[in-house]
Structure 1
Amino acid sequence: MTGSAVVAVVANPTSGRGKGAKLIPKVDALLRSLDVSHTLVICEGPDDPERLARDAVERGADIVAALGGDGQVGACANGVIGTGATLAVIPAGTGNDFARHLGLDRKDPLAATRLLADPPIRKIDVVRIVTPQHERYFVNVGGAGFDSEVNEHANKVRRLSGTAKYVYSTFVTLARFAADDFTVTVDGRSHPFRGMMLAVGNASSYGGGMLVCPDARSDDGLLDVCVIQELPKWQFVKTFPKVFKGRHVEHPAVTMLQGREISISAGRPFQVYADGEAVGTLPATFTVLPSALPVVAPPVEGAR
């Protein structure tokens, strides 16, 4: 794709505790200086990103640039998938895990913006998730159990941001969390266990750098599954810091699985989260769609 591509920036001004609002005029000015044909649309409500992304493509946008955090990226991806348009990421959230996965500098959103002048394109896998309430797509990490309850708590925290918010929510949630009976079925093979959570990774990290599925790639046609079985809370606290380097997988209570279709059920209807947003309750089925989404990203070898 050449620099003649038409770009629609779908911006969330509330992302990153107001970072998005400050970034919007800078991105607009930079694109003008680079002579990039673009439009700028501002989200005002939670249903806007997907709708505005889809509308932008229908009006002729070749690239939809999601300005915001991982939730904004996931919502815009749902508006773009299947249209033939390309998704770009301008990181402006608190975690920006998917930007990191794509090889973008998550702390320099203007560097990501400059790529739009001559965008490098590669295709990534996406994940279709089906719950009793919804059918959605996601690009990063989804899951249920302990991590989904952490996400639910983190979304209500306003005085912290980024990694600190998720670490705080982890320990608040741990104090009241009880393990349950889960069954995860990977490509038709069932694995029952009593445990705390499952995370399904198209990419490797969430929560501002927690490498929950450290070997996950979004270009291999496979999903990585992190299963954490029941363990004493003191062991969880001791092991938790290792997730930032992906070394939690060394613990005997952690099992990593891989497959193309993953189904999860549990003794109670845990909320399911994907790309940081609630998408329904268990049971849920996750299916990988290989090379389904073109993205603007540098050709980073082995990007995670």
Structure 2
Amino acid sequence: MTMTYYFIVNVASRTGKGRKIWNRLEAELKRQKTDYRAYLTKYQGHAGELAEKLTGKHREQVISLVVVGGDGTANEAINGIRDFEKVRFGYIPIGSGNDLGRGLGLPKDPLAALKVILESKELYLMDLGRVSWGSKLEKSAYFNISSGIGMDAEVCRRVNAAGMKAFLNKLHLGKMSYFVQTVLTLAEMPKVLGSIQFEDKEKKRIGGVICAAVMNHRCEGGGLPMAPKASDQDGKLSVCYIHGVKRLRALFLLLMLVKGKHLEFRGIELEECAFCTLCLKEPLPAHADGEDLGDLVRVKYECLPGALKIMR
């Protein structure tokens, strides 16, 4: 039986170069006489709507769903999928951050990534993260890479709003936008009192919370190794949080973070867990894979082991 591949394509990725990349991919699909359907996104959130529509329409069968875009497009898509058991997921990373592609070890060349998908024989079972919030934790979102609250979420918000990312992408310096906004944000972010509970352990009070990054993969923000030993197949999330330090020291820790040596110093901690809950005295910005969740005071993070079946 011939397999049909359903492509969700963000042609606006990589500052508009996504369309040219898709043209190359589509030519290869036609050359190989691959049975496929393609759906181009037209606005933010459209990838999620398409994924929901496709997985709803084919809910009685397993479908091969391929996302062509950046980390944000991949996040939209997984949040639209109705039943992960019915989806074989493929990803061709063409964004600027590409933390998901890096974490999965996917080729940077789009045609090579397409070849991996078309020749895939075994599925890679990747853990997913889920973040919940609201007075009764009634709202939730999935994440592939990371979810966080505090400074890293504010950085994502600023990068997406400033226009700096698009400008630096044209100069092939997209990663710099995250670093520049991190330094600027650090000077202004409030430090908030809070508590964190890992699984069913006793709550731990933490003062002066700057940020908490809950990692499914090693890197976020375009390659920052927040959790150098994180695994997407261990059924756990790696929670890295900075607290109780002065801003100058926090800047030093961030510089060490770029080198992957941040865990050697006081003021930054990392713990692995299947789930955890963070409560804050004041709201801070939150994100899932860089997608803005608003300003929150209580969040729960949990790992969903092997939830996403990836053609790799």
After TM superposition, give the deviation of residue 80 of structure 1 in Å.
Answer: 2.7
Residues paired across the two proteins, number: 294
1:70-92 CA-to-partner distances (Å, cap 9, x unmatched) read 11111111223624212111111
In the alignment, which of 281, 290, 302 is matched to residue 287 of structure 1? 302
Q: Distance in 2 between matches of 1:267 and 1:249?
A: 26
CA shift in 2, pair 1:62/1:16, >3 Å: same
d(CA) in 2 for partners of 1:17, 1:28: 19
Aligned to 2:189: 177
Deviation, structure 1 residue 282? 3.0
Cα distance in 1 for partners of 2:160, 2:126 equals: 27
Instruction: Please point out which of 154, 177, 180 is paired with 1:149.
Output: 154
Q: Offset of 1:249 from its aligned partner?
A: 1.1
C-alpha separation between the residues in 2 aligned to 1:81 and 1:255? 35
**Distance (Å, rounded) in 2 between the aligned partners of 1:222 and 1:245:** 24
Q: CA deviation at 1:108?
A: 1.4
Q: Which moved more, 1:40-49 or 1:19-28?
A: 19-28
**Of residues 200, 203, 206 in structure 2, which corresponds to 1:193?**
206
**Equivalent residues in 2 for 1:30-179, closer than 5 Å:** 30-60=28-58, 62-80=63-81, 82-83=83-84, 84-105=86-107, 107-119=108-120, 120-132=122-134, 134-158=139-163, 159-161=167-169, 162-179=174-191
Answer yes or no: is the 8 Å Cα contact 1:19–1:93 preserved in 2: no
* Residues 151 and 285, structure 2, Cα contact 8 Å, conserved in 1: no
What letter matches 2:187 in structure 1?
Answer: A
Q: Secondary structure at the match of 1:217?
A: coil
1:248 is matched with which residue? 262
The CA deviation string for residues 180-221 of structure 1, in whole angstroms up to 9 with x for no partner, is: 112111102222111211110111111110011111111100
User: 2:45 is aligned with what amino acid?
Assistant: D
Partner of 2:283, secondary structure, is coil
Counterpart-to-counterpart distance in 2, 1:21 and 1:127: 30
Deviates more, 1:165-174 or 1:31-40: 31-40
Shift of 1:59: 4.4
Deviations 1:94-130 (A, max 9, x none): 100011000112x312211112222242111111211
Query: Residues 286 and 188 from structure 1, CA distance in 2 versus in 1: closer, same or farther, beyond 3 angstroms?
Result: same
Q: State which drifts further: 127-136 or 260-269.
A: 127-136
Query: Percentage identity across aligned positions?
Result: 26
One-letter amino acid matched to 2:24 = K
SS in 2 for 1:288: strand
Scaled by the length of structure 2, the TM-score of the pair is 0.89
Question: What TM-score comes out, normalization by structure 1 length?
Answer: 0.91
User: Tell me, what secondary structure is at the counterpart of 2:175?
Assistant: helix
Letter of the 1:72 counterpart: T
Q: Which ranges in structure 1 are unaligned for 5 or more consecutive residues?
A: 298-304
* Equivalent of residue 225 in structure 2, options 208, 211, 219: 211
Find the aligned partners of 1:188 and 1:268 in 2 and give their Cα distance.
24
Rounded Cα–Cα distance in structure 2 between residues aligned with 1:134 and 1:36: 39
Residues of 2 paired with 1:64 and 1:19: CA distance?
A: 22
Deviation larger for 177-186 or 143-152: 177-186
Matches of 1:141 and 1:181, distance apart in 2: 22
